[in-house]
């Protein structure tokens, strides 16, 4: 069984977020900040006490239904190699990559779940793309948000990436 066939855990978009991964809980710090993987920037004199018996709370999430055939097609095309860094995560259960939408799904971006809006990325570059830390030029060069060159996006002729989505991503990231 390949982990990748199950697709990365579908990310939920809570109602307070702007549609980017995990941003809704970033500002709350503490446990939610840790869970979202975002450094809350909190200054303290010691480590947080944590919770010995973490409870579970019910929350309202909005999930975008995605077509795994679309992400599987893109991931298979690149043999699970990240289009930014070419790295393949070779896990004991199989290769792992993520189908990353250039123009984010869901409100307010409402990007399409289509191959021309999707990249095969490693989890790191997926996060950096979602957070606007990297962006893609009209000539498919990848830069970071400081303007530093990162790489040339790896592309296959069969994979027609819509420049409009790349331009939307730059604009939405303020780049
Ligand atoms: Zn990568």
Q: Could you state, in chain order, the average pLDDT of each consecutive group of 10 residues for the chain (175 residues)?
A: 42 38 40 53 74 79 80 97 98 97 93 96 98 97 96 97 97 87
**Confidence at residue 40, expressed as pLDDT on a 0 to 100 scale:** 60
**Confidence at residue 29, expressed as pLDDT on a 0 to 100 scale:** 40
Do residues 20 and 95 share a domain? no
Q: How far apart are CA 42 and CA 144, in angstroms?
A: 25
Ion ligand 1: residues, Cβ under 5 Å: 82, 84-85, 122, 125
pTM exceeds 0.75 for this model: no
What's the 65 CA to ligand 1 centre distance in angstroms? 25
What phi and psi, each to the nearest 5 degrees, are found at residue 152?
A: -95, 130
Q: How far apart are CA 14 and CA 117, in angstroms?
A: 22
**Confidence at residue 38, expressed as pLDDT on a 0 to 100 scale:** 65
Do residues 20 and 80 share a domain? no
Q: How far apart are CA 149 and CA 134, in angstroms?
A: 10
| Domain ranges, residue 29 | 10-39+52-63
Do residues 106 and 135 share a domain? yes
């Amino acid at each position: 069984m390949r982990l990748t066939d199950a697709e990365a855990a579908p990310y939920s978009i809570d109602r307070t977020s702007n549609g980017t991964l995990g941003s809704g809980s970033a500002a709350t710090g503490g446990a939610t900040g840790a869970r979202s993987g975002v450094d809350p920037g909190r200054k303290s004199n010691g480590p947080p006490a944590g919770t010995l018996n973490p409870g579970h709370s019910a929350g309202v999430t909005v999930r975008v239904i995605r077509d795994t055939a679309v992400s599987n097609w893109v991931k298979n095309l690149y043999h699970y190699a990240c289009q930014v860094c070419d790295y393949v995560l070779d896990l004991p259960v199989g290769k792992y990559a993520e189908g990353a939408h250039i123009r984010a799904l869901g409100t307010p971006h409402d990007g399409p779940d289509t191959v021309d809006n999707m990249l095969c990325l490693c989890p790191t570059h997926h996060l950096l793309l979602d957070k606007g830390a990297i962006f893609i030029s009209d000539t498919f060069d990848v830069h970071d948000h400081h303007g530093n060159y990162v790489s040339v996006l790896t592309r296959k002729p069969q994979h027609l990436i819509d420049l409009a989505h790349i331009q939307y991503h730059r604009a939405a990231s303020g780049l």
